[in-house]
Amino acid sequence: MRDELTRPLAVLPSDPPTAAPTGKRHAGLATRAAIAGAAVAFISVLVTALAAIPIAVKSADTRARQALAQEAQLVAEILKGRLDKGRTADEDRIANQLRKRDIEVVLITNGTPDRAGLPDTVVRRIANGNAVSQRLMLDGRLRLVEGRPVGPKDGVVLTSPAATGAGVAVFRSTWLPLVAGLLAGVLAGVLLARRLTRPLRNAAVAAARIRAGDRTVRVPVESPQEIADVGLALNELASALAVSEARQREFLLSISHELKTPLTTLRGYAEALADGVVRDAETAPVGTTMLAEADHLARLIDDLLALARLDAVDFPLQTATVDLVPVIGAVRDAWQPRCTAHGVPLKVVTPGEPLVLHTDAGRVRQVVDGLLENALRVVPPGRPIVVALGRVGRAAVVEVRDGGPGFTDDDLAVAFERGALHERYRGVRKVGSGLGLALAAGLVRRLGGTIRAAHAPEGGAALIVTLPG
């Protein structure tokens, strides 16, 4: 079995097959992550477009305004001081050249424009010597208007169509990069989703194999930290299950051996009685032996049942305010005959004053009886057993010490594990079933206390129970 536990453990491949689906199927994390990445990319592209197009339109409008303002300033410089002579061929030539660029020229002389269409407010401002820079609806079309004064009540106004359709033009020129960005975002989302979900798929397959009974499975520990934590937890779970199941197998083997011994004895004597081999004078001793073996079996079964019930929610506890001095004092009367029969001196030490706790006196006595049963089984004749009751602060301390073979330092860590000492010393020295200490530890925990093993001054083992005050 030890070779089985220490053989190399399997490691999952980096991209394991998908586990068989069970129950209702939901969209996988990879699919959701890919959809989320695509949504983020789409929103990013959309926001970029919505932000870039108005900026591009405004920039185009600003450039058109600046260009028209420069043209208006240049024409105003050329015509300065010449409008009072009326419209000449030079003005017509300038107007024709500008008209070819879709720019209309309106001359204002003595506060009167040479063509209709300009708002009166624009004409008055220029006649008053103020420049004009606006966007206006002229003849049903949105146009840029730049006016400059060129003399007293004289001026020139240039109009050109406002930059319409610039947004469409910008979109036409940028849709390909935007689509490329969208596709790149979707691809990045898919790749990232696969990268992030691969360790989770590994973990899911590992969990399925653990559920199926494979305790050698291990998953690679990969970043990010959260996924690494999942991998570590699964690996530790598999290791813990392997150790636990190995101990359960050892425990069952130990219990099977413990049960077989009295059963073999009972079967042998029963066959002897059935065959008439036992003489009349031997009947009483045979019956006594069979009764002792039956009691042994009963104790084993009772211990197993008690261990099975310890973790139950409805485990019965009858707590009350009790004085532990008479509870522990009664141990002397109950165990003195058995200890005397084994040639083991029993000493019970209690304080000279009451030691009152709120606890279950019956369970406390059950713990002490179990520890004494365990000690009496291994202590050789002539070596003592001591039961001592004392107080540390508000807590009560019950010690069961003996002069038996005791514990090694390694034994102290596993003393209360089911069957651990039995497996360790079976065939080496006299041991019990391995249930007594585990049962005592469980009972103490249910009472809210602690139990620990130590080396006794009498040379053997010391089992120290601390019950809260």
DSSP 318: -
pLDDT value, residue 462? 94
Pair (402, 333) in one structural domain:
yes
Would 151 be classed as within a structural domain? yes
368 and 236 fall within a common domain: no
Q: What is the mean pLDDT of residues 378-403?
A: 93
- pLDDT of 411: 85
In a domain, 24, yes or no: no
Residue 332 domain-assigned (yes or no): yes
CATH number of the domain encompassing residue 106 = 3.30.450
Query: CB within 8 A of 327, min separation 6: which ones?
Result: 361, 364, 365
- Residue 466's pLDDT band (cuts 50, 70, 90): very high
Neighbours of 92 (CB within 10 A): 11
Cα–Cα distance for residue pair 327/333, rounded to 1 Å: 11
Q: Between β-strands 385-392 and 395-402, what pairing exists: parallel, antiparallel or unpaired?
A: antiparallel
Least trusted range by pLDDT, from 221-235, 350-364, 426-440: 426-440
What is the spatial distance between Cα 357 and Cα 321, in angstroms, rounded to a whole number? 6
| 335 against 25, higher pLDDT | 335
Say which residue, 78 or 381, is predicted with more confidence. Answer: 381
Count CB-CB contacts under 10 A for residue 164: 12
pLDDT tens, 288-344? 888 877 876 887 777 677 666 666 655 678 889 999 999 999 888 888 988 998 999
- Whether residue 402 sits in one domain with residue 287: no
* Cis, peptide link before residue 468, omega less than 30° from 0: no
Q: Provide the percentage of residues in the chain whose pLDDT is more than 90.
A: 16
Note whether residue 362 is domain-resident. yes
CA distance 456 to 469: 25
**Higher pLDDT residue, 171 or 186?**
186
More confident residue, 27 or 469: 469
Which pLDDT value is given to residue 87? 58
**What is the CATH number for 410?**
3.30.565.10
Q: What is the pLDDT of residues 222-254, one digit of tens each?
A: 777 777 888 888 888 888 888 777 767 766 665
Considering the domain boundaries, does residue 233 fall inside one?
yes
Q: Could you tell me what percent of the chain has a pLDDT over 70?
A: 79
Q: Which of 8-22, 396-410, 436-450 has the highest mean pLDDT?
A: 396-410
Per-residue pLDDT, 258: 61
Q: Tens digit of pLDDT for each residue in 144-161?
A: 888 888 878 888 888 888
Mean pLDDT of the 179-190 span: 76
- Angle made by CA atoms 351, 451, 334, in degrees to the nearest 5: 50
Based on the domain organization, do 338 and 357 belong to the same domain? yes
Higher per-residue confidence, 449 vs 169: 449
Q: Which of 143, 163, 183 is the last residue of a domain?
A: 163
Pick from 276, 310, 344: which residue ends a domain? 310
What's the pLDDT at 348? 94
Please give the residue range of the domain that contains residue 118: 83-163
pLDDT of residue 23: 46
What's the total number of domains in the chain?
A: 3
- Asked if residue 300 belongs to a domain, the reply is yes
Same domain, 305 and 328: no
pLDDT band at residue 406 using 50, 70 and 90 as cut-offs: confident
| Mean pLDDT for the chain overall | 79
How far apart are the C-alpha atoms of 308 and 310, rounded to whole Å? 6
Domain annotation covers residue 441: yes
The confidence score (pLDDT) of residue 419 equals 66
Our measurement of the distance from residue 406's CA atom to the centroid of its chain's CA atoms, rounded to an integer in Å, reads 43
Which range, 66-70, 182-186, 262-266, has the best average confidence (pLDDT)?
66-70
Instruction: Select the more confidently predicted residue: 316 or 90.
Output: 316
Asked if residue 53 belongs to a domain, the reply is no
Q: Which of 125-139, 193-207, 367-381 is least confident?
A: 193-207
pLDDT of 7 reads 36
pLDDT at 86: 56
Pairing of strands 450-455, 385-392: unpaired
What CA–CA distances, in Å, run from 398 to 78, 306, 395, 449, 452? 117, 21, 10, 11, 11
- Least confident range from 249-263, 320-334, 383-397: namely 249-263
